[in-house]
Amino acid sequence: MNTSIAKTLSILTVFLLLTSVSAVQVNSVYAEDASKTPTLKFLADQLIEIASKSKVKVEEVFDKIKTQYIGIPYEAEELYEEGVKLLDDAISYRNNGDYPSACKYAIKAMQKFKLALLVTYKFTLKLEVRKVENETLKITCLRKAIERAYMFADRVEALANSTEEKFGYNLTTVKLEIEEAREHLENATNLLDEGLVDEAAKELAVARGILGKCVGEIHSAAKKFKITRIECFLNQTKKRLKSHMEEVISSINRTSVLNKTRISQALQNASHSIEVAEEFIKRGNVEEALKKLEEVREHVEESTSELESIKPDVAKMLRKVNTFEIKLRWLEGMLKHMKFKGPVLTTAEDKLEEVKNLIKKVSDQIKNQKISEAEETMKHLEELLEDIEEMLSS
């Protein structure tokens, strides 16, 4: 047993020696020529492959230890989990094209795997040297493991409660599973009191499995809720952007301001950020999606700021023309849904056509900076719209 662990530890030591050299190569290649991305990609792939093999080696040792001892040392399990997380990060960086980071995290993962194995090796060696593979030590270790499992159950329950409170998600099923895990821990304690060590260990293993499943369900629920919420936020942002774009485009088409290009570019950037945010949401990357939606807000503010650089009186007139257009569409809709058309409605239709012509006229006047003429046309427009509304309402 120990010979196998020692052999595996030696292999991992060699791996880490290789990764130390690789780390130097990563920095050297990256600093020397940024065009050598293929070289970095190859190195990242190799390091991730080595780290994955290291992970498998650790798991093999853990499996062997579980057949002869009560369990894996808690510290070793933590180191192993940290290594798995670092390896997942390395793969994610590699997939996103960040090869230097992928190399860096793959090396860190291997270091964690080596430490996990070293802790495990020392643990088993200590048991062998001191001949503590007796029932008393097994019971002591198992009792501590059960105590840790109870504490872990408390942490999982606290996580479930905070997730419910924060996201409003119903985790009643998960809480019932936590109680089931506690029942298995209680069974393990009772069996241990009766001297049935193997049976107690099985109950402990069942409890740990249930608690691990609960953690996964909680994280999954929180992620689903975040995605649902950000999808709603995205849809609201799209609607607001569409309305804003219609208003801004309508305004810039009626004026000869010099910053049209910058306004249009800001709106294009906002639309692009929306598209990128949608892609991130599809991948489940909530954090990056939120960043892109924040960019949308910034681009909208930029377009608004550029538009407000127009003279105040002109900007006010542009907003009023936009209001006239909205009222025109509303009156057209009202007219369309009237069943019987008599002379009054025919007159209203003629007047609405006149409104359209006047809106085009005032837009040209504003564009050509004929402000006084535009003001007169707008007065006429306002009176005409009031007349039409009175006609259709009577």
CATH number assigned to the domain comprising residue 104: 1.20.120
CB 152 within 8 A of CB 204: no
Segment 288-308 shows an average pLDDT of 73
pLDDT above 70: residue 23: no
Whether 383 is in a domain gets the answer yes
Nearest to 251 by CA among 145, 363, 163: 363
Q: Please state whether 305 falls in left (phi above 0), alpha (psi between -120 and 50) or beta.
A: alpha
Final residue of a structural domain among 114, 130, 146: 130
Segment 380-389 shows an average pLDDT of 85
Name which of 2-11, 108-117, 184-193, 327-336 the model is least confident about. 2-11
**Side chain identity, residue 387:** D
The boundaries of the domain holding residue 105 are 1-130
Whole-number pLDDT of residue 253: 60
Does the global pTM surpass 0.75?
A: no
pLDDT above 60: residue 51: yes
Whether 249 is in a domain gets the answer no
> Counting every residue, how long is the chain?
394
Whether 290 is in a domain gets the answer no
Segment 315-327 shows an average pLDDT of 77
pLDDT, one tens digit per residue, over 334-378 is: 777 665 556 767 788 888 888 888 888 887 777 777 878 888 888
The Cα–Cα gap between 51 and 45 comes to 10
Q: State the burial class of residue 211 (Cβ atoms within 10 Å of its Cβ: 0-12, 13-18, 19+).
A: buried
Segment 4-33 shows an average pLDDT of 48
Final residue of a structural domain among 103, 130, 157: 130
CB 181 within 8 A of CB 204: no
Whether 199 is in a domain gets the answer no
Whether 257 is in a domain gets the answer no
pLDDT above 50: residue 148: yes
**Number of CB atoms found within 10 A of residue 363's CB:** 21
Tokens of residue 103, six digits: 């190399």
Whole-number pLDDT of residue 267: 77
Whether 287 is in a domain gets the answer no
Whether 224 is in a domain gets the answer no
Tokens of residue 256, six digits: 């000869």
Confidence of residue 85 (pLDDT cuts 50, 70, 90): very high
Whether 252 is in a domain gets the answer no
State the chain's maximal CA–CA distance in angstroms. Answer: 109
Mean pLDDT (the chain) is 77
Final residue of a structural domain among 130, 158, 173: 130
pLDDT, one tens digit per residue, over 166-203 is: 777 778 888 899 999 999 999 999 988 888 888 999 99
pLDDT, one tens digit per residue, over 240-265 is: 777 767 666 666 665 555 466 777 77
Number of domain units in the chain: 2
Quickly tell me which residue has 């088409």 as its tokens.
253
CB 295 within 8 A of CB 268: no
